[in-house]
Structures are given as C-alpha cells and as structure tokens.
Amino acid sequence: MIQFSDVSKFYDNEAALSDITLTIEKGEHIYITGPSGAGKTTLLKLIYAAERPDKGTVSVAGQDTGKLKQGAVPFLRRTIGVVFQDFRLLPNVTVFDNIALALRIHGIDSKEIKENVNDVLASIGMKHKAHEFPRHLSGGEQQMAAIARAIVSKPNVLLADEPTGNLDPGTADTIIKLFREINLRGTTLIIATHHDALFKNTGHRVIYLKEGKIEKETKD
Amino acid sequence: MNTLTYLFQTAVKNFWSEKRINLLTVLTIAVGLLIISAFALITLNIDLTLKNWSGGFGLVVYLKDNISAEEEGLIKNHFKKDTDITSVNYITKEQALKELRQTLGSATHLLEGFESNPLPASFELKLKRESLTPAGIKEKAERLKQFQGVEDVQYGEKWLASMDSLSKGLKVLTVSLGSIILIALAFVTYSTIKILFYRRADEIDTMKLLGASRSFIRLPFLMEGLFIGLSSGIIALSALFGIYAVTTAKTAELIPSIKSFAVFFPPAAYPVLPLGGALMSLIGSLFAIGRIKY
C-alpha cells in the first residue's frame, strides 16, 4: 500500500505539490492526470524516493520514504519498476543488456537473466530487436524496451510517467494492453498521463491534479 | 555470470570505450613510475658499489712495544668473542717495517736515521659489512682503546661517515621524490576517473533509479583505475628494463667492468611497480568517485 499523508514538496519556494493525502491499495490500477506542471512527475518521484517530501509523509509498503536512510533507497527502488518519460535507456548497450541491467542490479545469475529477458522481449514482440542499440529503435520501440526493463524484475509497483507521450495510437494501445496484463498479475500500477483517452471508460480510479493539489478524484 | 564478473566486463568495456583519455593517463603514470624506479635503481647501484668498496675496510689496533703476553692474550680473546669481526691479521713490528720499505721504494733512505724499528706491532681487523656504520665502529674503537697494551686504534672515520651519509642521502632523496611523484600520479588518476564519472553521469543516475547499490556503481570505476595503474606499472617496468639493458650494453663498450657490478632489481621486486601504480590509482579513483548520494 502507498500512502501520502498531507504531503507538500517545494522547488525554490514554489509548491510542486501541496497537502496531498492519498491512499493507493495493493494491486490497484490508478491514473494521475492533470496539465503540465500539475505535479504528476513529482508525485511519482516521491514514491520511488527520487524526491523527499518537505512536509508530511509518504509511505511505501510501510516504509516512510522521507526517513529512509541513503543505503536503504536502492532496496526500495528494486521493489518498484519505473517507466521514465524520457525512457532512460543506456545508449552504449543493447536492448537485451538494458533490460538485463535491472536483473543484474538484483544480483540474479546470468542463466536466469537470459531466460527472463527473452521471455519479456517475447511478450512485447521485440525479441528480434534484442541486440539493437537504443539509437536504432523508433520512439515506440524505445518505450517498449523501457517498459520491459521496468517489469522484468516483477516489481510490486509499476510507475509509468507519460508512457504514451509521443507514440502513435496503435503503439499506445499495445502499451496500455500490456499494462493491464501486468496489473492483472497483481502489480500495483500507477500511470501519470495528460491523455484522458487512456483512462476514459476504463472504470479505474483517476486522480486529477491542478497546481500541485488534488482537484478531484473519479472512477471513469 | 555473477555480478562481479559483469562489473569486471563493464570496467573493461568502459576502459576500451574511453581509450584515448585512458591511454594518455596510462602513459603519464608510466612516465612518473619510470622516473621513480630509475631513481631507485641508480640508488641501489650506487649503494651496492659503495658497499663493495667498503668490503676491505676495517680497524687497525696498534700495540705498545712493552705489551705483555697476558695483555695480548686478553685482546685476542676479545676479538674471538666479537661476532662482528670476520678476520684478524697480526702484523709484527718487522712485517710493518718491511711493508713500509716496500711502500717507500727508492725513498727508504728516510728510515736510515732511526736506530731501532719505530713501527708498532698491530692487529688488522676486518668487520662484517652490516657492522660498517660510523657509530658502530667508533664504539668498537673506543672499547679497544681501553685495553692495557693498546697504543691507538685507527679507522677511516671521515671516509666512512661520508660514505654513510651519501648512501643515506640518496635513499632519502629517492623516498621523498618517489612520494611526491606517487601523490601526483594518484591525482592524475583522480582527474581521469572524475572526468569519466561526469561523462557517465546520466548512466549513473539511471542505475541509481533502478536500485543499483553504491558498490555496483563504484566497482567498474575502481577497476578502471586499477587497470590504469597496473598497465602503467607494467609499461614502466618494461621500459626501465629496456633502458637498463641498452645503457649497460653501451657503457660496457667503454667500461667493460660495469657488467660485473651493475645490477637490476631482483625478480621478487618486479611486482612492486605494477602493484604500487595500481594502489595509487585505486586511491585516486576512490577519491574521485566520492560519496554516491540517492
């Protein structure tokens, strides 16, 4: 379970998030939406401890991320898969090695890494791209590779920041279907997006952010 | 493949992908190590040469003319007990005079004015090389002077002191110069690893966000520093051996005897240079990476 209790975050005395109180249950599929600068990315960053709250507490699986010691941060992050807005794929290594990195960080042996990476690449239909470098991939393929890296270690929580940002509708649909499958396996899924088409009529909880505050919460 | 093997492979890949800056660093460090080792080799050779020269060095104990057999016996007994003395040679008054005549050659007429033999009998003592210290010999000489029947004790005090200070001076100079160069070499690695660390800042951030531990991020950089130091040491050692071989061969054409006393480092000392380089580079790398914050 993820719990925000009266959380505020400031950058240069400007509030990126103000007095956020929010509970996300285990296995939930939730969307965070709002215009640019509403605080969606900051909210996600607070979950994987890339930012610490200036006020209030953020609790992830019972751990107060604001009080987390430096040495404990990597262990928290290994339980969370993140699909970054800018993909953050390592440019000098292949798609296979980019995905394998997440498992290597977990200290998994090479045989298991090979099996898991090949499985995840097959599930997203990118096995034939395993030995390509990110620069040779299209935007959609890079996004798929970033998702594969985020899910390969079977995290408890998957965060996706604008996962369909610059993708064509076809690729975006594929990605959303993939997310649904991942969520059905029990992974808590939090997607930050400003594309309302993604969550319309899905029946999932949607949190609307505006100027760092929760404007409303619906079940579309 | 375990994590350590993966990190080692990453370090090798990174080392190769940044080959220009790494090669430049390796050569810079190799030159520094070559200077230190060349200085150490010169010092070693000078030190050995001085020790070889001092092999014939010893004490001369001059005896009084009226020394009794009992007093002479006591002195001989003392020599037997002293383990620093390797040989004792007794020179009678007559032998001393004979040697002097031989030394004077055609100038023996200088001795004609003497009615009797003016030269004393003496003991010539040879000492162990490790006992040839100014302080040690002085103490021995003072003790021998206390014996009844000893007229005087002589040794090359000034020469021994000069030789000793020259040897010590060279060692101090080598150690001081070596320390300064080693610190500079650590700084060279520090700068290189710092540059490489900044160049890979995005990659490091990504790894941190994926949950990589500090050691997972640090180890490839430390290994890279280690490669730099090790390869620099190997290059420096090979270059030193090459220079030594060429120099002794060329000098031997002019001074053939150089081959009998010029020495290179013993094989047991060969790893010192690569390992020393590796250690200093590792220290430089550690400081360059610093504390990784999440």
Distance from CA of A218 to the nearest CA of B (A): 31
Are residue B82 and residue B195 in the same domain, yes or no?
Answer: no
Tell me, yes or no, whether B27 and B113 share the same domain.
no
pLDDT of residue B1: 61
In a domain, B151, yes or no: yes
Is residue B192 domain-resident? Answer: yes
> Residue B2: what pLDDT?
82
Domain identity same for B144 and B78: yes
- pLDDT score of A157 more than 90: yes
Q: How far is B211 from chain A (nearest CA, A)?
A: 4
Cβ within 8 Å, pair B211-A149: no
Domain boundary (B137, B155, B173) is at B155
When scoring B196, B200, B203, B209 by the number of chain A Cβ atoms within 10 A, the one with the most, hence best to mutate, is B209
Neighbours of A26 (CB within 10 A): 12
Query: Could you tell me which residue, B141 or A133, shows the higher pLDDT?
Result: A133
Amino acid at site A16: A
Any idea where the domains of chain A sit in the sequence?
A: 1-79+156-220, 90-154
Burial class (CB in 10 A: 0-12, 13-18, 19+), A80: buried
Of B88, B120, B155, the last residue of a domain is B155
Distance from CA of A126 to the nearest CA of B (A): 21
Give a yes or no: residue B32 inside a domain: yes
Looking at residue A177, its pLDDT comes to 87
Least confident among A121-125, A190-194, B130-134:
B130-134
Token duo for residue B68: 């009794």
Partners of residue A44 in chain B, C-beta under 8 Å? none
- Cβ of A70 and B294 within 8 Å? yes
Predicted local distance difference test score (pLDDT) of residue B54: 64
Q: What is the pTM of this model?
A: 0.75
Contact (CB<8Å) B209/A50:
yes
Q: For the domain that residue B88 is a member of, what is the CATH number?
A: 3.30.70.3040
Give the domain-ending residue among B106, B124, B155.
Answer: B155
B209/A84 CB distance under 8 A: yes
| Domain co-membership, B174 together with B261 | yes
Tell me the pLDDT band of A81, cut-offs 50, 70 and 90: very high
List chain B pLDDT tens, one digit each, 294 residues: 688 898 999 999 999 999 999 999 999 999 999 999 998 999 888 888 777 766 666 789 999 999 999 999 999 999 999 988 888 999 999 999 888 888 888 777 777 778 788 899 999 998 887 777 777 888 888 999 999 999 999 887 777 778 778 888 888 988 999 999 999 999 999 999 999 999 999 999 999 999 999 999 999 999 999 999 999 999 999 999 999 999 999 988 888 777 777 899 999 999 999 999 999 999 999 999 988 888
Same domain, B166 and B245: yes
More confident residue, B103 or A188: A188
CB contact (8 A) between residue A82 and residue B2: no
Say whether A101 and B210 touch across the interface (CB within 8 A).
Answer: yes
Give the per-residue pLDDT at B84.
87
Q: Which residues of B touch A50 (CB under 8 A)?
A: 209
Cβ–Cβ below 8 Å for B211 and A105: yes
For A11-60, the pLDDT digits (tens) are 998 999 999 999 999 999 999 999 999 999 999 999 999 999 999 999 99
Q: What is the CATH number of domain A1-79+156-220?
A: 3.40.50.300
Residues in chain B: 294
Tell me, yes or no, if A75 comes closer than 8 A to chain B by beta carbon: yes
Residues B7 and B120 in one domain: no
- B63 and B37, same structural domain? no
- pLDDT value for B55: 64
- Same domain assignment for residues B181 and B283: yes
Report chain A residues whose CB lies below 8 A from the CB of B209.
48, 50, 77, 82, 84, 88
Contact A77 B210 (CB under 8 A): yes
Same domain, B81 and B139: yes
Residue A178 C-alpha, separation from nearest chain B C-alpha, in angstroms: 21
Residues of B contacting chain A (CB within 8 angstroms): 1-3, 6, 13, 17, 202-203, 205-214, 216, 293-294
Residues B168 and B284 in one domain: yes
Q: Which long-range contacts (CB under 8 A, 24 or more apart) does B282-285 make?
A: B282/B222, B282/B225, B282/B226, B282/B229, B283/B186, B283/B189, B284/B185, B284/B186, B284/B187, B284/B188, B284/B189, B284/B190, B284/B193, B284/B225, B285/B189, B285/B190, B285/B193, B285/B221, B285/B222, B285/B224, B285/B225, B285/B226
Question: How many domains is chain B built from?
Answer: 2
Structural domain includes residue B211: yes
| Predicted pLDDT of residue B258 | 77
Q: What does pLDDT average to over chain A?
A: 93
Residue A83 has pLDDT above 80, yes or no: yes
Provide DSSP, A69-121.
Answer: -GGGHHHHHTTEEEE-TT----TTS-HHHHHHHHHHHTT--HHHHHHHHHHHH
Which residues 6+ apart lie within 8 Å of A86 measured at CB? none
The continuous run of DSSP H or E covering A181 comes out as: helix A169-184
Q: B73 and B127 in one domain?
A: yes
Contact B1 A110 (CB under 8 A): yes
Test the B interface: residue of A47, A88, A111, A115 with most B CBs within 10 Å: A88
Minimal C-alpha gap between B39 and chain A (Å): 43
The proportion of chain A whose per-residue pLDDT surpasses 70, expressed as a percent, equals: 99
ipTM of the shown complex: 0.91
Q: How many CB atoms lie within 10 A of CB A179?
A: 22
Residue B112: the pLDDT is 77
Please give the pLDDT value at position A46. 97
Domain containing B129 equals 58-155
Contact B2 A109 (CB under 8 A): yes
Q: Is residue B267 part of a domain?
A: yes
